[in-house]
Amino acid sequence: MDKPPRQMVLVCSFDHTMTKAPQRSPAPFLGFALASLFVGCQPDDSPFRQENDQLRKQLNKQESVISSLQDGNKVMQQQIDLLNQELRDAKKEAEKALADAKAFQSESKALGTKLETQLAETKKLSAEVQRTAAKAAQATESVKVEEKGAQAEDLPRALAVVGKAAEEALARNGYHVKVSLKTDQRAVFVTERKVSTPASLEMSGFRNQYVVSLQALPSNVTRLSVKADFEKLMQGGRVLGVSAEETAEIERRLIAEIGKAVSSPGKL
């Protein structure tokens, strides 16, 4: 509720002797009365001053509270801005992680498909290798029947080394390999039939074909077997057989050539 307006009290002091003075011109007295009124009749403003002081204090206090609230509001706004930025960053990270996960899933699917294709191809190749190895083994075994009566010698070298030496010895003496079968434990070389020349292993006027067989043995030893189909050519195209001793001699010559190559690693 509003307070009732305060009454201004004027305290005036008059000199009562003025009423007993003789009648004179009112002008001097009027000036003196006004001067006395302004000097002696002043309002009592102490209640207003106290209320103004209280209002001023309350205003200062409210201004201080408002300033504190404004500062707090600024800090709060900064925190809100920071949280909003963190939220935006987190959203971007989540979107990136989701995109990476999708890309990884797509890549994993592609790799899985590729792996399945490779596995199928590997199985196919493995089956083909096994079939080829089986055929080679069967062929090697079938050739083994024809090795009866061949000359043989065990060489203290690995199968691969002896096989390379055999191929080089045949090539040096003009024999072309027509059939070649190789496995981890066996190797067979069948040459084309050729007419001998003076520079070859045989004497001129003979025709020959070799079957060279290699078999891996324990302790890094290879058994070398050589079978020759040696024939003598006569005038008019007649073919004469030769003795077993002559054939054995030709077989031993090739074994000696291969053994010489094996003993000289620098030549291989």
Query: What is the tens place of the pLDDT at every residue in 46-78?
Result: 778 888 888 888 888 888 889 888 888 888 899
Domain carrying residue 58: 47-147
Say whether pTM exceeds 0.75: no
C-alpha span between 113 and 110 (Å, rounded): 5
What's the pLDDT at 144? 53
Burial of 261 (0-12, 13-18, 19+ CB in 10 A): buried
* Residues 246 and 179 occupy one common structural domain: yes
Higher pLDDT, 28 or 80: 80
Q: From residue 120, how far is each of 114, 116, 127 by CA, in Å? A: 10, 6, 11
227 closest CA partner among 256, 206, 254? 254
C-alpha span between 100 and 96 (Å, rounded): 6
C-alpha span between 144 and 153 (Å, rounded): 16
Tally of CB atoms within 10 A around 165: 26
* Residues 183 and 212 occupy one common structural domain: yes
Has residue 135 been placed in a domain?
yes
In sequence order, the β-bridge partners of residue 231 are 207, 241
- Domain boundary (117, 147, 177) is at 147
What's the pLDDT at 11? 44
Residue 115 has pLDDT above 50, yes or no: yes
148: left (phi over 0), alpha (psi -120 to 50) or beta: beta
Report pLDDT digits (tens) over 165-218.
Answer: 999 999 988 899 998 888 889 999 999 988 765 445 555 567 888 999 999 999
208 closest CA partner among 242, 182, 185? 242
- For residue 211, the surrounding DSSP H or E stretch is strand 210-217
- Domain boundary (147, 165, 186) is at 147
Q: From residue 102, how far is each of 88, 95, 106 by CA, in Å? A: 21, 11, 6
Q: What is the DSSP letter of 267?
A: G
Q: Which of 108-122, 142-156, 230-244 has the highest mean pLDDT?
A: 108-122
C-alpha span between 190 and 144 (Å, rounded): 12
What's the pLDDT at 215? 93
Task: Specify whether the CB–CB gap between 193 and 170 falls below 8 A.
Answer: no
Question: Which amino acid does the sequence have at 226?
Answer: V
Per the structure, the count of domains in the chain is 2
Report pLDDT digits (tens) over 91-111.
Answer: 988 989 989 988 888 888 888
Has residue 238 been placed in a domain?
yes
Task: Assign 29 a pLDDT band (cuts: 50, 70, 90).
Answer: low
